[in-house]
Structure 1
Amino acid sequence: MKPGSCRVALAVLALLFAWIVPATAQDAPGPARIAVVSAFEPEWTALKAAVEEPRSEEINGVEFVSGRLDGHDVVLFLSGVSMVNAAMTTQLALDRFQISTIVVSGIAGGVDPRLSIGDVVIASQWGEYLESVFARETDGGYRLPSYARKSFANYGMMFPQPVSIRRAGDTSGDRFWLPVDPKLLAVAAQAAGAVKLARCTPEQACLDHAPQVVVGGNGVSGMAFVDNAEFRRYVADTFQARVLDMESAAVAHVAYANRVPFIAFRSLSDLAGGGEGANEMATFFGLAAGNSSALVRAFLTALPVAGVAEPKIP
C-alpha cells in the first residue's frame, strides 16, 4: 500500500473507532460540571429556565442542558421516573461529561409523621428498601433461603436485603445505606436558612402551615409509588425514614460506585398514603417541585465554586 493510501486508511479507521466507542468523562470536552438531576418535566422547569447560555444536546434520547447556574458550570437532565431510568441516565451523564458532583432535585412522598406537604428533606443517607427476598410461607410464618439475611423487619413475605455494589478498591460489596457527601450536606444546612418556601400553588391551593427544611435522617427509594398508610408506617418504623421516592437511592448507588459526591433535595408533594382523602400529589406537585428547586439554587449559591473534594466513603 502506498504511504498516502495508508494514511487515508488509518484516518478512516480512527473515525470508525470514534463512532463505535462512546466518549468517556476523561476525554469529554468542557469543564467539570455539577449534574443537576430531576425525575420528570415539572421538576426541572424552573431550573432549566435559569441556566445561563444554555446548550442542549440529545444523547441516546436524553436531553442534556449545559450552561451556568448560580455561579457553577452545570449539566441538567431528566432521569426519568423509576430506579432503572435513574441509574441508566446518571451513568450516561458520568460517561459523557466531566461530573464533579451530583445533585438531585424533585418531589417525594412524606413518611415521617412529623413532616407535612411542602417540606423539603435533605437526607444524610439513602437505601434501596424494596430490594427484597419474597420468602416462602410456612406454618410458622416465613422461611428465608439460606443465603439471605434478616437485616430489617419484614413486611409479610417481603424481607429487605442489602445490595451488592462493586467498585474499584472495594472488597466488602454489600451495602444498604448509601451516604450523602458530608461536605455537601453541611453546605445545604447553611443554605436552608436563606430560603422562604412557598405555601400556595398558582391556583391558590394553600397549605395551612409554613413548610420547613429538614436536614439529615434517612431516605428510601424503590420501584413503587406508595399510597398506603399501613406500608407507610412500616417504612417509618423499620428504616426510620423521613421520605421515600423512586429515584434518589439509585442515583446514590451510581454516585457511590463512581466515587462522585452526591446529595438529594426532595420536597413532599404527598404523604405516601398518610393524608386524609385522596392522594395530594396532583394538587401540590408544582409547589413541592418549586420548593425543592429554590433550595437547590440556594445551595448552589452557597457552594464554593471550586466544589468539594472527593468524599471519604467507608
Structure 2
Amino acid sequence: MKKLYILTAFFFALSFFRSFAVAQRYKPRPVTGLLGAFGAEVALVNQSLKHPKTVIVDGISFTTGRLGKHRVVVAETGIGKVNAAMTTALMLDHFRPQRILFTGIAGGTNPDLQPGDIVIAGRTAHHDYGSITEKNTPTRQTRNAITKQFNPVYFPADSTLMHLAETVVKGVQLEGIPLASGGVSDRSVKVITGTVVTGDVFVASPAKVSSLRADFGADATEMEGAAIAQVCYQLQVPHLIIRSLSDRADAEAHVAYDKFYPTAARNSAKLVIAIVKAL
C-alpha cells in the first residue's frame, strides 16, 4: 500500500512539473494571432487593420497592426497540416500571442448545413492520423512532444473564445448564399458550434462524408484546423477555429467551392474580426 502511495505521488508530481515546465516555456504578450489558409482569407482581415506593418520570419510574411483597440498579428498558413503547424509555431515563437484565431473555409459533412453556413469548432480532430491493426482498431491519439503523453483525440476550443463567438455572431451581418439565378437566398446563414475534422486531403466523396460523420460526428472537414489546435494545446495557448462552408464535400465539391468560396471566406473573416473587436 505504501509503495502504491509513493508511486501515485511520484506520477502526480511528474505531471505537475511537466505542466509547470510548459507554462514556464511559453510567456504570452498582449497580442492576438489571426491565421487563414488562403491569401484571400488573410487579405480580408489585413484590409481591416490599422497601422499595418509586415514582418518576415523565416520566409513567412506576418502583418502586425490593430483591430479596434487590440494588437494583432496576421499570417497565411498555406494549405495542409504541416504548413499550418509550421506557421503557427513561428507565430507563437516570434510574436508570443496570448490567443490564436483561425478563419477559413471547409467542406460540410453535417446534412443539415449548406454552403455559406458557419461551424464554430467546439473541438477538432485529425481524421487521417492513427495506426490500423488487423483487428481494425485504429489509435487516433497524437502524442505530445513536450509531455510525452497522449493528446486527446479531440482538441477542445478555448471555452471563453467559443462562448464569445457564439454571442458575437448574433450581431454580425453575414452574407446570404448565392443562387444559380444570380440572386441571393433569403435563407439565413446557419451558425452552429460543432466538430471540425482535419486531414491532408480535399474531400469530394459522399462515402467519405458518411464515414467522417459516423466515426467522428464531424460537421465539417478541412486541412489545417487540428494541426493548429494541437500546437496550441501542447503549448497551452487558447485557440478557436472558425469555418465557413464552401461546399458539402460531395461529388460536386469542386464546382460548389468555386461558387461559394468568396462568400464563405468573407463571412468567416467578418466573424473573426468581430470577435477580436469584442475581446
**TM-score of the aligned structures, taking structure 1 as reference length:** 0.75
Q: Of residues 42, 46, 49 in structure 2, which corresponds to 1:48?
A: 46
Q: Of residues 117, 141, 144 in structure 2, which corresponds to 1:162?
A: 141
Summarize deviations over 1:244-269 as a string: whole Å, max 9, x none: 11001000000001110000110000
Aligned residue pairs total 254
User: Is the CA contact (8 Å cut-off) linking 2:125 and 2:154 kept in structure 1?
Assistant: yes
Amino acid at match of 1:213: V
Q: Which runs of 4+ in 1 moved over 4 A?
A: none
2:216 paired residue number: 239
SS of match in other structure, 2:171 = coil
Gaps of 5+ in 2: 1-24
Write the mapping of 1:57-72 to structure 2, written as runs, cut at 5 A. 57-72=55-70
The answer to which structure has the higher helix fraction is 2
User: Is the CA contact (8 Å cut-off) linking 1:269 and 1:284 kept in structure 2?
Assistant: yes
Write the mapping of 1:149-298 to structure 2, written as runs, cut at 5 A. 150=137, 159=138, 161-167=140-146, 170=147, 172-200=149-177, 204=182, 206-207=184-185, 209-215=187-193, 217-273=194-250, 279-298=255-274
Amino acid at match of 2:275: F
Distance 1:177-1:200 versus aligned 2 partners, 3 A rule: closer
User: Is the CA contact (8 Å cut-off) linking 2:204 and 2:254 kept in structure 1?
Assistant: no
Write the mapping of 1:99-114 to structure 2, written as runs, cut at 5 A. 99-114=97-112
CA RMSD of aligned residues (A): 2.3
SS of match in other structure, 1:173 = coil
Gaps of 5+ in 1: 1-23, 136-141, 145-149, 151-158, 304-314
Pairwise CA distance, 1:70: 2.6
C-alpha separation in 2, matches of 1:207 and 1:109: 19
Q: Which structure would you say has the larger Rg?
A: 1
2:278 paired residue number: 302
User: Is the CA contact (8 Å cut-off) linking 1:106 and 1:292 kept in structure 2?
Assistant: yes
2:80 paired residue number: 82
User: Is the CA contact (8 Å cut-off) linking 1:107 and 1:268 kept in structure 2?
Assistant: yes
User: Is the CA contact (8 Å cut-off) linking 2:195 and 2:220 kept in structure 1?
Assistant: yes
Summarize deviations over 1:20-64 as a string: whole Å, max 9, x none: xxxx976x9xx5210000001111121111100001011112110
Give aligned-pair identity as a percent.
Answer: 30
Pairwise CA distance, 1:173: 2.2
Distance 1:220-1:183 versus aligned 2 partners, 3 A rule: same
Pairwise CA distance, 1:207: 4.2
User: Is the CA contact (8 Å cut-off) linking 1:128 and 1:221 kept in structure 2?
Assistant: yes
**TM-score of the aligned structures, taking structure 2 as reference length:** 0.84
User: Is the CA contact (8 Å cut-off) linking 2:37 and 2:104 kept in structure 1?
Assistant: yes
Distance 1:224-1:205 versus aligned 2 partners, 3 A rule: farther
